[in-house]
Amino acid sequence: MRIFKVFIGVFLLFGLSFFFGCNNEQGAKKIDLDKTEELNENLPEPNQLRIGIIPEQDIRKMAARYEPLAEYLGKKLNLKVTLVYLDNYGEVCDKFISQQLDAAFFGSFSYALTHAKAGVEALSRPDYQGVSTYRGLIIVRKDGNIKDLPDMRNKRLALVHRATYAGYLYPLYYFKEHKVADLDLFFSQVIFSGSHDKAIIAVLNGQADIAVPKDLVYERMLKDNPDLENKLLILSASKPVPSNAFCVRKGLGLSLKDRLKNILLNLENEPEAGPVLVALGASRFIETNDKDYANLYEIIKALKIDLDTYPYYERQDIG
């Protein structure tokens, strides 16, 4: 039997801690960085809800954002709600194919892949004070003498993962539109960082010259470190696509699905849900469905990507 392992804390790099000057204070509740949880291919227990969390940022920041929501949902549903921290973007699709997750917060391209391969359904997504979408960015250092596409030739590019819109699909489309057919030939090096914040940090630390993060992660980093705005330059931004939507597996009971959707759409009206929205940095959740991904599907079509056969889970591209 194939065994999947979720390593709590695998995303924390020593370089990240050094860069931000973090100390070793205890992280969010219920996170044990030395613990390894083994997941086999058995279906999730009927009395619990497993929610997958993709690696946008390091594990402590993700735990601080999503743990209050998990506790709130558990109380409202009278179920055990478990957050499963995934080690890369492709894994979320794999877990739904093997029916090991009930729900997850999906990036737009990982949603499209898993919708095609496993039939997941989008229910709702966070609205960040009037913004419920995100864009892919192409960023460089201001002191790096890169102002346009010709300046990027023979430089180092930091992508995120092949199952991301901002961190792979959009730059692939951008460079194709600008007549760059082969990234490996155009750039001196192409790396996959594994998360959006690590791609940004790769540029800041001189490990890459160009990064392609999502704007919401970029803006969170600016909020925590305002001086970064003086160091980084945005060269391009994509069309907007839905921010991380809460999606459920195919076959989840209609009653539970409706309850989840109603709870999320009414968070702003429940005083006790205030800390949940604060932790997420959101003002409310809004209804979401497949039609909201029109801009994404337009790029998928332009790149002639077949979602049914797309290689979403190649561990060798994690760098």
Domain ranges of the chain: 4-132+242-317, 136-237
Higher pLDDT, 222 or 31: 222
* Average pLDDT for 51-69: 89
Of the pLDDT bands very low, low, confident and very high (cuts 50, 70, 90), residue 313 is low
Enter the pTM of the model: 0.76
Higher pLDDT, 10 or 289: 289
* Average pLDDT for 192-211: 95
Concatenating the DSSP letter of every residue in 240-271 gives -EE-SEEEE-TT--HHHHHHHHHHHHTGGG-G
In order of 207, 261, 275, 277, 283, the CA distances from 267 in angstroms are: 41, 10, 10, 8, 9
Candidates 213, 250, 286; CA nearest to 102 is: 250
| Whole-number pLDDT of residue 14 | 37
CATH of the domain spanning 136-237: 3.40.190.10
pLDDT digits 0-9 by tens, 8-27: 333 333 344 434 444 433 33
Residue 38 has pLDDT above 80, yes or no: no
- E strand residue ranges, the chain: 4-7, 36-39, 48-53, 80-85, 103-106, 121-127, 133-134, 137-141, 156-159, 189-192, 210-211, 232-237, 241-242, 245-248, 284-287
DSSP state of 102: S
Residue 45 has pLDDT above 60, yes or no: no
Residue 32 has pLDDT above 50, yes or no: no
Q: Which residues contact 60 (CB under 8 A, 6 or more apart)?
A: 12, 27, 28, 31
Q: Rounded to the nearest 5 degrees, what angle is found at the Cα of 212, between the Cα atoms of 192 and 220?
A: 110
pLDDT digits 0-9 by tens, 260-281: 999 999 999 999 999 999 999 9
Residue showing tokens 């429940």: 270
| Whole-number pLDDT of residue 1 | 40
* Average pLDDT for 216-233: 92
Describe the chain by its helix, strand, coil percentages, rounded to 5. Answer: 40, 20, 35
* Average pLDDT for 79-91: 88
Can you tell me the distance from the alpha carbon of 228 to that of 291, in angstroms, rounded to the nearest whole number?
A: 36
| Whole-number pLDDT of residue 3 | 37
| Whole-number pLDDT of residue 312 | 67
Contact 193, 226 (CB under 8 A): no
Which fold would CATH assign to domain 4-132+242-317?
Answer: D-Maltodextrin-Binding Protein; domain 2 (3.40.190)
Contact 105, 134 (CB under 8 A): no
* Average pLDDT for 25-46: 41
Tell how strand 241-242 and strand 103-106 pair up: unpaired
Check for a shared fold between 4-132+242-317 and 136-237.
yes
- E strand residue ranges, 103-243: 103-106, 121-127, 133-134, 137-141, 156-159, 189-192, 210-211, 232-237, 241-242
Q: Round the average pLDDT of the chain to a whole number and report it.
A: 85
Of the pLDDT bands very low, low, confident and very high (cuts 50, 70, 90), residue 162 is confident
In order of 53, 62, 132, 252, 260, the CA distances from 69 in angstroms are: 12, 12, 18, 19, 12
